[in-house]
Structure 1
Amino acid sequence: MRILITGAGGQLGRALGRVLAGHDLTPVDLPDVDVADRASVVAAVARARPELVIHCAAYTDVDGCARDPALAHRVNALGTLNVALACQSAGAALAHISTNEVFAGDDPGGYEEWQTRAPRNAYGRSKAAAEAHVEALLNRYYIIRTAWLFAPGGRNFIHAILRRARETGAVRVVADEVGNPTYAPDLAEAIARLVATEQYGVYHFVNSGACSRWAFAAEILRQAGVTARNTPILSSAYPRASTPPPFGALHNYNGAALGITLRPWPEALADYLRDEAAL
């Protein structure tokens, strides 16, 4: 299959490049292709003539999005509009990577694929608008929501927790934000399996199990063998520009119906720590 991947230099884009290596891949990213520039996107798609575009490119700095919502909208919403229009012209299917932050996060039970989008921050609003563009313009699409993504070789929550713990012997982590830690290689494998089915729709792909940020940090420290004081705090004690959904757990029903599930997040964390140590 001819596949174009936007945001190919990011942690998910790199993982997709590995698991889809048997296909005819066109990886694109900044500065060569800017999804916010329609002409740039149209030209890239016209050159590659893909049968499928996997759209990973996004502005994912949630606090940055809160400080500059216009930029978030330009990259995430209008950028996705540009990609969807290019797919429409080329007759390509689209796999759009989205987020748990399209939901309000006020349901302790978590969210299924069919539930109503109600974002509470600028990042979530820009990604919800992106989903709406995909739904309005295309018939052949996958919307794939994920959360708390991590991969070896990059800066992420795990990296920050271990650095802080080793430097100071103590961390303070919010205990009232719940989500699903998700390992980028596992997500990439799930996406590869999904696009092979051509079963279009909305999917929640996260490693199974949900936890608080504090519980995630506790497991990181335990598996890494790092002794440090891990103090739970409320998000109100950790001021930030954005307001993440307090209960952002996603449930994978549609993928599971196709036999596509992701392993428990503590198992994925163990592989991450092993792979990170090998770098």
Structure 2
Amino acid sequence: MKLTSLLVPENPVPHPRRVLITGCLGQLGRTLQATLTDHVRLGIDLPDCDITDPAVVPFIEAHAPDIIIHTAAYTNVDGAESNPDLVFRINMWGTHNLALACQRTGAPLLYISTNEVFDGTRTTSAYYEWETINPLSVYARSKAAGEAVVRTLLQRFYIVRIAWLFAPGGNNFPRKIIENADKHGRLRVVSDEFGNPTYAPDLAAAISQLITTEHFGIYHLVNGGSCSRYEFASEVLRQAGRGHVPVTPVAHSEWERPSTPPLHALLANTNAAALGITLRPWQEALAAFFQTS
């Protein structure tokens, strides 16, 4: 095993922390490496380092991180339905290995989870951090299992639930909407699935604030406001100068897919907001996305 990346501060602070980021090549991992510039950033990802291999525990111990930010995950929600063993091996047992590494090093763990741990059956309000989860899909159950591992094995942890992540240069919803609009000239988008778009640079900045507080616990870090997939797509096209492309709203039942996404799993940012950590409205974040993409 070896580190995928090692970045040192350009302008060192008196006591920079050693932050180990799993999944450092993914949307959020890349963004965290670009955001946490005051710290030494140790990045691991496939193929250099496999979190499901028990050998990752002594490997991490040898690098002595001050905190681990765990973004690595199997995130193909539909593909997860036909690969449950692989999904749980990565999302639960991989997390288990990282928790063991945290036990050995004394480093806290920040685990990235998902709004999909809620069933989304409630339509009157968003879910708070302390509410009981009820995951529906294989992917959601594996992420909930990862949460349980973190809570069981560690006392010093952050569980950060996010939703509908998008980042500059990533393979994400806004990019797919634009590509399909340009290819087909019209779109059909689900109008009865609701969530909180989350812009990776805003999330990374919030995580940077959060890890300095050492107020451990469960957090919902999403951009302000919420929308349906249809509303998100319509705003993407408007801001991308493609507002003329017709978008037809359709029910989720008309869009066959292997998984069962929660229809109304909105997240309320209560705990982080109490610490003064909030993210701007998703429409403003989307405008920033287009300015940097």
Q: Which residue among 239, 242, 246 is the counterpart of 2:259?
A: 242
Instruction: Give the unaligned 5+ runs of structure 1.
Output: none
- Residue of structure 2 equivalent to 1:103: 118
Counterparts of 1:225 and 1:24 in 2: how far apart (Å)? Answer: 40
Higher helix share: 1
Counterparts of 1:167 and 1:131 in 2: how far apart (Å)? Answer: 40
Q: What is the CA-CA distance between 1:242 and the residue it aligns to?
A: 0.7
Instruction: Give the unaligned 5+ runs of structure 2.
Output: 1-16
Q: Which residue among 229, 241, 252 is the counterpart of 2:269?
A: 252
Counterparts of 1:168 and 1:6 in 2: how far apart (Å)? Answer: 37
The question of 1:2 aligning with 2:21 is answered no
CA RMSD of aligned residues (A): 0.8
Q: What is the CA-CA distance between 1:43 and the residue it aligns to?
A: 3.2
Map Cα deviations across residues 20-77 of structure 1 (whole Å, 9 max, x no partner).
12112111111111111121x2133122101100000000000111111111111001
- Residue of structure 1 equivalent to 2:291: 274
Counterparts of 1:187 and 1:38 in 2: how far apart (Å)? Answer: 30
Contact 1:33 1:44 in 2 (8 A): no
Map Cα deviations across residues 220-273 of structure 1 (whole Å, 9 max, x no partner).
011111021100001111101111000011000000000000000000000101
Counterparts of 2:31 and 2:170 in 1: how far apart (Å)? Answer: 12
How does 1:1-279 map onto structure 2 within 5 Å? 1-39=17-55, 41-108=56-123, 109-226=125-242, 227-276=244-293
Map Cα deviations across residues 210-229 of structure 1 (whole Å, 9 max, x no partner).
10000000100111110211
Map Cα deviations across residues 132-169 of structure 1 (whole Å, 9 max, x no partner).
00000001000000000000112111111111111221
Please list every run of at least 4 consecutive aligned residues from structure 1 whose deviation after the TM superposition is greater than 2 angstroms: none
Counterparts of 2:251 and 2:165 in 1: how far apart (Å)? Answer: 22
For the residue of structure 2 that corresponds to 1:191, the secondary structure is: helix
For the residue of structure 1 that corresponds to 2:112, the secondary structure is: strand
Q: What is the CA-CA distance between 1:11 and the residue it aligns to?
A: 0.7
Q: What is the CA-CA distance between 1:192 and the residue it aligns to?
A: 0.3
For the residue of structure 2 that corresponds to 1:139, the secondary structure is: coil
Deviates most, 61-70 or 189-198: 61-70
**TM-score (norm: length of structure 2):** 0.93
Which one-letter code corresponds to 2:176 in the other structure? A
**TM-score (norm: length of structure 1):** 0.97
Contact 1:142 1:203 in 2 (8 A): yes
- Residue of structure 1 equivalent to 2:13: none
Counterparts of 2:158 and 2:33 in 1: how far apart (Å)? Answer: 18
Q: What is the CA-CA distance between 1:207 and the residue it aligns to?
A: 0.3
